[in-house]
Amino acid sequence: MKIVFMGTSNFAVPSLEKLIKSDHDIVAIVTQPDRPRGRGKKLEPTPVKSTALLYNLPVLQPERIKQVEAIESVKNYQPDLIVVVAYGQIIPIDLLEYPKLGCINVHASLLPKYRGAAPIQRAIMAGEKTTGITTMFMDEGLDTGDIIMQLPVTIEPTMDYGELEQVMAKQGAKLLIDTIANLASGSLPRRKQDESKSTYAKMLTKEEEKIQWSNNALDIINKIRALSPTPGAYTSYKGTKIKVFKALEKNKNKNGVIGEVLEITENGFIVQCQDGTIEVIEVQKEGKKRISSKEFLRGFKLHSGDVLGD
């Protein structure tokens, strides 16, 4: 089977590696263009491109996959199947309808819940205890195609976005191989999505990264988990931006002012929220590296009674 793989992020890498090690012919990789990253703004390849180059696979990096030239460049490889995993652009119908076996997608939720760009983060932020992987046939809609296979994944209470993404990426790769095996044998199940149960996982905004200490403690904890390790939820003190990567819910104490540092502890510091308190365990001062709160407090003057979130 001749396959074109379309993907960009770390989430897509295990799926690509599984396909490369399978009996199928991976004829080309389509990924996003190299982008400037880091302080030096040096152009860096996507994780999928880096993986593809290790295996000497042809790589296409169109700025917009909807352009005629981009569509034709993919068609030139005459794929039987196109596999899409966290690619980052909407695939045009002309390309979706080209392969004789269609286009299949690995999506990081149990569709129709959490359609869209940020299903893992949104599931954590909402306090979900279970999410999952879906393989589906792609259509013109946004994650609206027929479901092929699904696999539930447990979200552990302390698991953050990075940790959950790694687990789901590996599970997604396994489900993809099973899906393609069923497709090759002609025994592939498919069912329509229940539109009445659909929800949308929109992209995260810069405004959402800010911790609102007036929210409930559990909601704040879930936001911190959903935004860790990147981009990071943040608060501020006297104009200094402080990212928070790990925190624990402590108790239902309501004696402090919202955002007040109530206590400096052995492991960090306790902050008052709407319905209780949380202990901040790992942080990053703007422009510095991520460290434990204990280490942070050695060099940053934060005391009981100080109020965060100016």
DSSP 147-183: EEEEEEEE--TT--HHHHHHHHHHHHHHHHHHHHHHH
Nearest partner of 222 among 271, 153, 157, 288, judged by Cα: 157
- Beta-sheet pairing, 81-85 with 103-107: parallel
- Residue at a domain's end among 201, 226, 249: 201
Same domain, 246 and 302: yes
112 marked among binding-site residues: yes
Same domain, 262 and 140: no
Hey, what long-range contacts does 186-195 have (CB within 8 A, 24 or more apart)?
A: 188/148, 189/148, 189/149, 190/137, 190/146, 190/147, 190/148, 191/146, 191/147, 192/146, 192/147, 193/111, 193/112, 193/144, 193/145, 193/146, 193/147, 194/112, 195/112
Same domain, 214 and 189: no
Same domain, 165 and 281: no
Same domain, 191 and 237: no
Q: How confident is the model at residue 254 (pLDDT cuts 50, 70, 90)?
A: confident
111 marked among binding-site residues: yes
Same domain, 64 and 166: yes
Same domain, 241 and 107: no
Which pLDDT score is estimated for 38? 74
110 marked among binding-site residues: yes
Same domain, 62 and 175: yes
Same domain, 162 and 74: yes
Q: How confident is the model at residue 115 (pLDDT cuts 50, 70, 90)?
A: very high
Which pLDDT score is estimated for 253? 73
- Residue 133's domain comprises 2-201
The total number of structural domains that make up the chain = 2
Q: What is the mean pLDDT of residues 75-97?
A: 97
Same domain, 196 and 97: yes
Same domain, 265 and 184: no
Which pLDDT score is estimated for 186? 83
Same domain, 99 and 42: yes
